[in-house]
Amino acid sequence: MKTSLLPTILNEQDESLMILIRAGKYLAGKGGLPNSGKLNYNKSSYLNLAAFYIDRTEITVTQFRKYQSHYNEKLFTNGKDCPNCPAMGINWIQASKYCLWAGKRLPQEEEWEAAARGANNFSYPWGKRFLSLRSNLLGKEDGYLFSAPVGSFLSGASASGLVDMVGNVWEWVGKKQSAKSQSKTRITKGGGWTSNKDQARISFRNHVDLKMNNPTFGFRCAKSLMQKR
């Protein structure tokens, strides 16, 4: 059965709220950003994307524990319980398997960027200029030295209402169909709590080993309209 075009849906398996990103032409890449030297940005182009749903927040500790009961966030939170923090230290394989278990998938990079910037040529979810205290990045000025509970920075939400697309944890995206099958690297997006404002740009690409369990790596899932459990 075709999924109706509701603005939001609740994914039953992991009880995640998902937001509709409508079909349309979206910018993928750096667009009109200035020359960034050695920083790794995606090439700019406009792509036609089919509609899809994406998690409003990063997958939380509580949600990930439904899939992997022995997951322990205290390894990444200075020994403190934080059930509403994003699941951290997750590699690409773990993230992919979780999304599959939940009846979803990892978003493709162009989908992630479309969800983060919307129909606008933005560098950050809220606009073209970086604004402090709208995301959990490097330093304690934002109130968090490590990860923050998801949704702690509502002022940094995207136009569609997605939160933490910048900062908190890097987010894995799906493997490109054109990528070599033997490639052992994948891309994370959005920056984490140890990242600077340039790494947090929507177009920035972080190439890493797919098996890397970095404390600042997490994820959110997406779902095609025709995707089945």
The CATH number assigned to the domain holding 116 equals 3.90.1580.10
Mean pLDDT over residues 44-57, rounded?
93
Which segment of 22-36, 122-136, 156-170, 192-206 scores lowest on mean pLDDT?
22-36
Q: Identify the CA nearest to 88 among candidates 189, 186, 217.
A: 217
Report the largest interatomic distance among the alpha carbons of the chain, rounded to a whole angstrom: 48
Q: How big is the CA angle at 148 (ends 108 and 214), to the nearest 5 degrees?
A: 55
Question: What pLDDT band is residue 194 in, cutting at 50, 70 and 90?
Answer: very high
Determine the Cα–Cα distance for residues 21 and 145; give it in Å rounded to an integer.
32
How far apart CA 166 and CA 170 sit, in angstroms, is 8
- Does residue 132 have a pLDDT over 60? yes
Hunting for tokens 């439904």 — which residue is that?
66
Q: What pLDDT, in 10s, does the model give residues 6-46?
A: 999 999 999 999 999 999 999 987 643 444 444 565 566 88
What's the number of domains the chain is made of?
A: 1
pLDDT tens per residue, range 56-75: 999 999 999 999 999 999 99
23, 77, 80 from 119: Cα distances, Å: 11, 36, 39
Residues 162 and 222: their CA atoms lie apart, in Å, by 12
Report CA-CA distances (Å) from 63 to 5, 32, 170, 219.
25, 38, 17, 12
- For residue 92, what are the domain limits? 1-229
Residue found by looking up tokens 């998902």 in the block? 18
